[in-house]
Amino acid sequence: MENLVTTMAGNFGGITGYIYPNEYELHWQLLIVIYPYLTGLVAGAFILASLERLFRVNELQPVYRLSLLTALSFMIVAPLPLLAHLGHPERSFEMFLTPHVQSAMAMFGFVYGWYLMVVLLLEIWLDYRRDIVLFGREKKGISKYFYKFLSLGFSDISDKSLLFDDKLGRFITIIGIPSAFLLHGYVGFIFGSVKANPWWGSVLMPIVFLFSAIVSGIALMILVYMVSSLFRWKQMKMACLNKLAEFLIYAMIVDFSLELLDFIHRLYQSEESISILSDMISSRLFVSLIVTQILLGTILPLVSLISARFGKFPDELKRMLYFIAAILVQVGIFSTRWNVVIGGQLFSKSLRGLTFYKIELFGLEGLLITIALLILPLVILYVLVKVLPPWSDVVADQTQSQTQPN
């Protein structure tokens, strides 16, 4: 009997209450946590760029192109966690060949393809066309041909032609915004439509996802802009940072109110799942939800952003506060994704017990792969920035040396 007790205690260590046999192990792990995180950054960065373009928020000019490139580099990485999670990446193209229109998950390829090919690449190409053509004229050797190739063999950069670029680009931005909403709303939809899971199943889910995406995207652009300016030894434009901070504040307030609304709605409805969910929040998710998501990831950065934006501080201090707030927001949004994906699997569908989740280090779903997947977009961004410099000063120099003789 003693033997039995010890074996049993070993098996039941992290489990409390009653859970079904197929709930011992979580099927969606870290990789599925970073997938919505990455797509959120894409959608957020793109929406920020569109704001500048459509509403001519001129302060944001310095981050416009940078946001597009950031969106692209995160977009390239976004499907990788899914491919790694499912295995057999060589089969992934089959979902394009035999589309299954009744399955939201199977339609991901098309949502992704549309957004990448029709929106992001096209908009970047149109925006950079003039620079590409100029680079093609100016550079030597292989890179000359590389830029010629990028220009797709069309080298007219007369004012009339550039004007058309601008018009078409504007049109694509207009399609782009609903597309970005679609991309990330889609990810929220996947979770929100699981009606058997009370933690996920909610019509608010796509909307909450969308706003948290915007929050994470703006915070990311603050970080990318600050770090890139530091490395280039350039003065950051305070007006731009202030504007970014302002938008971040608005987006965070909307996001936080929506999440609160969702929360209060659940409390008020008080369906039979409420007691296990509150158990889960006060035990398993306490650190990741109450501490990191709400306190560290929302309230603290909101306070520091508001005081830095509207308080009377020296610019250095403001920058410092923005930077810290943006990092905290990233941590907060990451834990939001964690709480949705992992939280939805920690409680039993019998509503009587909780299981536990321990991250593994190695292995396909492990911590190392996850870290690699989070670093990869930054590497891609570095390469993209080298190939297509987004800085207005670089381009300006060039225009002077190149276009004046014409």
Which residue, among 41, 81, 120, has the nearest Cα to 384 in the 3D structure? 120
Q: Residue for token digits 């995406």?
A: 213
Q: Measured from the CB atom, is 143 or 275 closer to another protein?
A: 275
- The correct pick among 138, 156, 166, 271 for binding another protein (CB under 8 A) is 156
Contacting range for another protein; rule: CB under 8 A; set: 11-19, 60-68, 250-258, 318-326:
11-19
Tell me if 396 contacts another protein by CB under 8 A. no
Contacting range for another protein; rule: CB under 8 A; set: 121-129, 185-193, 364-372, 397-405:
121-129
Q: Measured from the CB atom, is 97 or 361 closer to another protein?
A: 97
Which residue, among 385, 364, 401, 386, has the nearest Cα to 30 in the 3D structure? 364
Q: How far is the CB of 152 from another protein (least distance, A)?
A: 4
Q: How many C-alpha atoms does 10 have within 13 Å on its Cβ side?
A: 6
Q: How many C-alpha atoms does 336 have within 13 Å on its Cβ side?
A: 29
H or E stretch including 17?
Answer: strand 16-17
Tell me if 110 contacts another protein by CB under 8 A. no
- The correct pick among 143, 257, 275, 282 for binding another protein (CB under 8 A) is 275
Q: Quick one: tokens of 406?
A: 């014409």
Site for another protein in 191-230 (CB under 8 A): none
Which residue, among 50, 20, 12, has the nearest Cα to 217 in the 3D structure? 50
The residue count of the chain comes to 406
Q: Quick one: tokens of 256?
A: 């936080």
- The correct pick among 86, 117, 238, 383 for binding another protein (CB under 8 A) is 117
Q: How far is the CB of 97 from another protein (least distance, A)?
A: 5
Residues in contact with 265: Cβ distance below 8 Å, sequence separation at least 6, in sequence order: 204
φ and ψ at 56, to 5 degrees?
Answer: 50, 55
Site for another protein in 15-74 (CB under 8 A): 17-18, 20-22, 24
- The correct pick among 56, 87, 97, 268 for binding another protein (CB under 8 A) is 97
Q: How far apart are CA 179 and CA 193, in angstroms?
A: 20
Tell me if 170 contacts another protein by CB under 8 A. no
φ and ψ at 13, to 5 degrees?
Answer: -40, -60
Contacting range for another protein; rule: CB under 8 A; set: 1-9, 58-66, 179-187, 221-229:
1-9
Q: How far apart are CA 191 and CA 203, in angstroms?
A: 10
Tell me if 352 contacts another protein by CB under 8 A. yes
Q: How far is the CB of 264 from another protein (least distance, A)?
A: 19
Applying CB under 8 A, which residues contact another protein?
1, 3-5, 7-8, 12, 17-18, 20-22, 24, 93-94, 96-98, 100, 117, 122, 126, 129, 152-154, 156, 160-161, 164-165, 168, 275, 352
